[in-house]
Amino acid sequence: MHIIVFGDIHMDYRGIDSIPGISQADFLIVTGDFTNFGGKKEASIVLDVIRRLNPRIYAVPGNLDKPSVGTYLDELGINIHGKGVVLGDLGIFGVGGSNPTPFNTPTEFSEEELGDIVRNAYRQVANAPIKVLISHPPPYNTATDRIGEDVHVGSTAIRKFIEKEQPDFCFTGHIHESRGEDRIGRTLILNPGMLKDPGWIEFHSMEDGSFVAHLN
């Protein structure tokens, strides 16, 4: 299985068609922020471009997407915010939006709400052999949630969830300047940064049935 993961598009999808293998991938996963304070109309522009390349998509809305984006993803049957899907051995579950920011963005949740959302999504994939968390907000105090040198702005609820449940992978975004990888226990955390930089994650199965992921 071959999956390509990206996000933080912000209406700038130039170069997406140059991602190697994007049309042949088994699935694409979008980690949120299709727009800049946009709604369904703006998100549909981005999604139409993506779906022409590959219609097999799952996604969560980002904090800069209005709630109507989540509704639109529901209408398309591709929203995994607060939900999970099982694809073979993979249990993929998602959390969109973000913890509170200073900028009053359209889709923000309290840490308590984020904890409830991620736990509800996890229950739907708890029996899957390999678990993959798609979380727009990165976990707190990692290499994936830094602004500047020493300021960490990720979600404490997402970190606590990962510490307890130890999903195999967490693919995140939100903090553009914090492209990178880290681990919490055995959970590999990857933030590919903005799509336009360019940045994406390659996620694929090996002959022994295991999965590997790396930044591009």
Q: Would you say residue 1 has pLDDT above 90?
A: yes
Q: 98-120: per-residue pLDDT in tens?
A: 999 999 999 999 999 999 999 99
Which residues on neighbouring strands pair with residue 28, listed in sequence order?
4, 57
Write down how long the chain is. 216
**Amino acid present at 203:** F
Residues in Cβ contact with 55 at an 8 Å cutoff, skipping those fewer than 6 apart: none
Q: At what angle do helices 40-53 and 67-76 cross, to 10 degrees?
A: 40
Banded model confidence at residue 148, pLDDT cuts 50, 70, 90: confident
For residue 95 the two structure tokens come to: 């959390």
For residue 22 the two structure tokens come to: 């994007």
Topology given in CATH for the domain delimited by 2-215: Purple Acid Phosphatase; chain A, domain 2 (3.60.21)
Q: Domains of the chain: which residue ranges?
A: 2-215
Q: Given this model, what pLDDT does residue 92 score?
A: 98
Banded model confidence at residue 27, pLDDT cuts 50, 70, 90: very high
Asked if residue 146 lies in contact with residue 190, where contact means CB atoms within 8 angstroms, the answer is no
d(CA 16, CA 84): 26
CA-to-CA dists, residue 48 to 18, 55, 89, 157, angstroms: 16, 9, 29, 33
Short-list 73, 33, 47, CA closest to 199: 33
Q: Given this model, what pLDDT does residue 174 score?
A: 98
Q: Given this model, what pLDDT does residue 149 score?
A: 80
Which residues on neighbouring strands pair with residue 205, listed in sequence order?
211
Q: 54-109: per-residue pLDDT in tens?
A: 999 999 999 999 999 999 999 999 999 999 999 999 999 999 999 999 999 999 99
